Amino acid sequence: MERRPRTVPERLASFLILTVGWFPPGREAPSISRPAEQVDWRRVEAHFREGIERFQRIAPELLVSRPADLFVKHPRLGDLTLAEWMRFHLIHCRHHAEQIRERSAG
């Protein structure tokens, strides 16, 4: 695979999020990704655990065999390598954990 050239906004967003670790405010999450009013936490936990298990099975092979030529297409950051995708999700999870803490405290 070849990485598509990133646009200026994708490069800026990538720098801010992946390098600085800062999410620019003011962007609404797509409705499909927002949680429902009532959440079945057991179901959510099972869904995330299944995803983690799948990732743990395939990531070691992909990180070794295709570290620089396998890309995930991100709608705001452009094409990301697997390592960049993992970094994005780590930063993104921290971002949401902070939101949860703020909402739980208030």
Does residue 28 lie in a domain region? no
Does residue 31 lie in a domain region? no
Does residue 30 lie in a domain region? no
Does residue 89 lie in a domain region? yes
pLDDT tens-digit profile, the chain (106 residues): 889 999 999 999 999 999 999 988 888 887 877 777 888 889 988 998 998 899 889 888 887 888 888 898 998 999 999 889 889 989 988 988 888 888 888 6
Residue 86 exposure: Cα atoms within 13 Å on the Cβ side: 13
Domain containing 84 equals 9-22+44-105
Work out how many domains the chain is built from and give that number: 1
Does residue 16 lie in a domain region? yes
Beta bridge partners, 76, equal none
Does residue 48 lie in a domain region? yes
Q: Which residues contact 65 (CB under 8 A, 6 or more apart)?
A: none
Does residue 32 lie in a domain region? no
